[in-house]
Amino acid sequence: MRFSTATKLTLGFGGVIVLLVLNQAAVLLPLRSVNEQIRAMSEVGRPLRSATRGLEANVFAFGLAVRTYAQTGAPIYKNEAEREQLNVEANIAEYRRLASTERQRELAARIDPLWQEYKTKGLAVINGGTRFYSDAEWESIAASRTAMIELIRGEMQPDALVNYNAITQIAYQQVEAAERFMLIIFILCIVIAIVTGQSVSRAIVRSEREILSGREHLRATLTSIGDAVVTTDIEGRITSLNLMAERLTGWTEAEARGQQLRSVVQFIDDATGFEAESPSLKALREGTALSSDSVLLATRYGTKVPVEDHAAPVLNSKGAAVGSVLVFRDVTERKLHALELSKSYDELEARVKHRTFELAETHAELIREMEEHAIAEQKRIELLGRLVSGQETERRRIARDLHDQLGQRLTALRLKIASLKEAAAGNEVLEPKITRLQQIAEMLDSEVSYLAWELRPTALDDLGFAAAVRAFVKEWSRHFDIPADFQAAKIPKRRSSKDTETHLYRITQEALNNISKHAGATQVSVVLEKHDDRIILIIEDNGKGFDPASLTKPSRSGRGLGLLGMRERATLVGGDVEIESAPGSGTTIFVRVPMASTAKAANE
């Protein structure tokens, strides 16, 4: 990376200044550190030594006051003992506050129980008054005091002295390091000054070469550039033309230099055909860059070339205009291309209009077909509704006939068979046959009752869909011996329309019948719930499942026909049916019916 001469001078002298600042810092920082060490000695080292010395003296004074009070009983010695007790505790607290190392905190923790033991024995003497104390008692008190004195003299005072000396040694070491650093900085300043002087002299020579090279490079660039470039002075006289400007105007640089710009480069307004103001002169007057793409260049040979021009003032370091630069390029090919593009656009627009007309006709035809399909679908739904309504009417009639006629006759038959059985009692030939006949009659009666109930359960008319489905699931589970449960949640108390309840009930019947015929399930679940504005019926089994995509048309087993019937019934009440199943994974049927649809059906 190369630096300019000014940059190198700045870096060189800046480096010297930085080193001088560092040199000053090298003096001030150690002095500051020494001051901090001295302050640390005054705040920690000396007070720590004073605390240990005071602690030793106060321990001795406390013991002396206790012994003197025991011998004389004078209150003054009792007061002195209590005062020394407070002094000892203050010394211990001060040592604990000044402790700055783990060793000192450990010593503070060790001295406390020794003092508690010594204080307890001393206070016992003070509170006991003047009496005779045995030598063993005084030896016990002396042993406690000795333990404290040994800890103070043997460990606490030497540790405080070591801490004081360590702080002093660090301060001296930092002063010596600062002196060495000052010497290094001084040598570096001399080296940088020498190197900077040599570098500056070489940089001056290199800068002169770079200026000459830059001028040649600029001239080569202007010569090879694809745009015409013309420069002028502040008076509008031409100072240079590049090769492309010579080719477009017909003037050489030698011929044009010193002439007024408008006599060499003349622009004509393409719209009016009159001469246009020179953009360079206008840029000088207004002090801003200008551009135009609707002018013609009048060449020296009398031809007119469409060009695109840009002009801007040339400013010196103080921001004052000293000339202008004009850049223009031949846009003949672009103009021709624009004309071709406009022609193509007109052709394309005509095609689009024609195609739009065709699409409009197709769209209208599709709308007619959709309307016809919608009408046909509406008619289909209406016919389907009539068919389903007729089926329900026929189901009710058949259910009544089964119950009123066939049911009564089966009941009469069962009574007659019971009478025959009583009459044939003891007849080894007839009695077994009559018993078998009685079983067949009971089975027929049960099947007829189930069939009549399945065709139209009374609970659907009396109690509504939820109660009817609950009863049907229970009866279906008993009849086919397949465990099944029913759950109803958030069902509104207001009943839906009769048709809606009937269709949902028939969908449940069809789904459970499909399970009993095809699924081979061992567990069935039926859930009825309200979610947002929909009634949702979910029927799930753990049977063998199937591929829903295979039911595009009814199979021979009739499964597809049953699912188609469920979808048709859901459509009649504005709902839909969704089936989730896979071979070996069971089947789940979701039936969703809008609440609005049920309310509309109820109103109708």
Residue showing tokens 């003054």: 76
The CATH number, out of the four listed (3.30.70.1400, 3.30.450.20, 1.10.3720.10, 2.40.50.100), of the domain defined by the range 227-330:
3.30.450.20
Measure the CA–CA gap between 293 and 308, rounded to whole angstroms.
4
Q: Provide the token pair at 402.
A: 């089964």
CB of 192 within 8 A of CB of 12?
Answer: yes
Q: What's the token pair of residue 365?
A: 């035809």
Span of 29-43, 95-109, 340-354, 424-438 with lowest mean pLDDT: 29-43
Q: What is the 3-state secondary structure (H, E, C) of 91-156?
A: HHHHHHHHCCCHHHHHHHHHHHHHHHHHHHHHHHHHHHCCCCCCHHHHHHHHHHHHHHHHHHHHHH
The pLDDT-based confidence of 538 (bands split at 50, 70, 90) is very high
Q: What is the CATH number of domain 5-197?
A: 1.20.120.1730
Q: Give the helix/strand (H/E) hosting 76.
A: helix 75-98
Task: Give the mean model confidence (pLDDT) for residues 407-429.
Answer: 75
What is the pLDDT at residue 391? 61
Q: Mean pLDDT in the chain?
A: 78
Joined tokens for residue 227: 């745009």
Please answer whether residues 563 and 513 qualify as being in contact, where contact means their C-beta atoms are separated by less than 8 angstroms: no
pLDDT attached to residue 489: 80
DSSP type of residue 78: H
Question: What integer is the mean pLDDT of 297-314?
Answer: 86
**What is residue 604's predicted lDDT score, i.e. its pLDDT?**
42
Is the Cβ–Cβ distance between 14 and 196 less than 8 Å?
no
Residues with Cβ within 8 Å of 460's Cβ and at least 6 positions away in sequence, in order, are 468, 501, 502, 505
CA–CA dist 493, 504 (Å, integer): 17
Span 61-72, mean pLDDT? 87
Question: What band does 72 get if pLDDT is binned at 50, 70 and 90?
Answer: confident
- Which of the residue ranges 120-124, 263-267, 425-429, 532-536 would you say has the lowest mean pLDDT? 425-429
How far apart CA 554 and CA 518 sit, in angstroms, is 14
Cα–Cα distance for residue pair 202/487, rounded to 1 Å:
97
Average pLDDT over residues 265-294: 81
- Name the pLDDT band for 386 (thresholds 50, 70, 90): low
Q: Please give the pLDDT value at position 484.
A: 92
Judged against a pLDDT cut of 80, whether residue 196 lies above it is answered with no
Express as a percent the part of the chain with pLDDT over 70: 73
Instruction: Write down the CATH number for the domain with range 464-603.
Output: 3.30.565.10
More confident residue, 292 or 585: 585
* pLDDT tens per residue, range 550-565: 765 555 555 555 777 8
> 2-42: per-residue pLDDT in tens?
555 556 556 655 665 666 666 556 555 554 554 554 554 44
3-state secondary structure 391-411: HHHHHHHHHHHHHHHHHHHHH
The mean pLDDT of 566-585, rounded to a whole number, is 87
**Is a pLDDT exceeding 50 seen at residue 282?**
yes
Residue found by looking up tokens 């394309």 in the block: 348
Are 226 and 327 in contact by the 8 Å Cβ rule? The answer is no
Span 160-189, mean pLDDT?
Answer: 67
Domain ranges of the chain: 5-197, 227-330, 334-456, 464-603
Q: Rank 353-362, 398-407, 485-494 by mean pLDDT and report only the highest.
A: 353-362
Q: What is the pTM of this model?
A: 0.35
How far, in Å, CA of 66 to CA of 116, rounded? 15
Residue 428 burial by Cβ neighbours in a 10 Å radius (0-12, 13-18, 19+): exposed
CB atoms within 10 A of CB 115: 22
